[in-house]
Amino acid sequence: MAQTKTVAVINESKILVIENGSKLVPIRPICKALGIDEDGQKRKIENDDILNSVANLRLATGSDGKQYEMFCIPFKYIFGWLFTINPKNVKPEAREFVLSYKKKCYDVLYQNFVDTQEFLEAKQKVIEERLVLVDQAKANFKNAKGVLDEENKNLKKARELTFEEWLANNRQMNLFENGEEENYD
């Protein structure tokens, strides 16, 4: 047996999802809550290529607790269908809800198609700038490491120099490979 779950409340009417393997939403309670013609909405859904391909009749429990065959669409499509409802066609107490809902849909669509792209472009620019700085830091590090390695070798040579080597070299400290002669007389 299918179970129902309340997912929203419109004008004090519960909007239910029928859960029996797939989440389906009967349109009748929504139409009733908004004060719009259920048959007109059913025709609109049947004339929509996408909604018509997913709409179907299902047994659902009405607000009176009885089982009814109701026209349903999948939960994931309910938001698109609600967006098609004209606020001028709903009862006055539902108009603010529909207008607010449509505004939120416009905001979400903008965010999905524009804000996301702006974010990705800004992020890519920062990543490219950071990559240049990382490459520069790597080059600087490599150069500094080379200098450090060379100076460590020179330090080791200076530490290992014996008195006899110094005397044999005419009392010169010619230790360094880079051609620099250090003379510590």
Residue type, 59: L
Answering whether pTM is above 0.85, one says: no
Q: What is the mean pLDDT of residues 159-174?
A: 87
> What are the pLDDT digits (tens) for 1-30?
556 666 666 666 566 666 666 788 889 888
Cβ–Cβ under 8 Å, residues 45 and 71? yes
% of residues, the chain, pLDDT over 70: 82
Q: What is d(CA 138, CA 131) in angstroms, rounded to the nearest whole number?
A: 10
Cβ–Cβ under 8 Å, residues 53 and 40? no
Residue 175 predicted with pLDDT over 80: no
Query: 10 Å Cβ neighbour count for 43?
Result: 11
For the chain, list the domains and their CATH numbers. Answer: 3-85 (3.10.260)
> What are the pLDDT digits (tens) for 102-117?
999 999 999 988 988 8
> What are the pLDDT digits (tens) for 120-135?
999 999 999 999 999 9
Lowest-pLDDT range of 62-71, 117-126, 145-154: 62-71
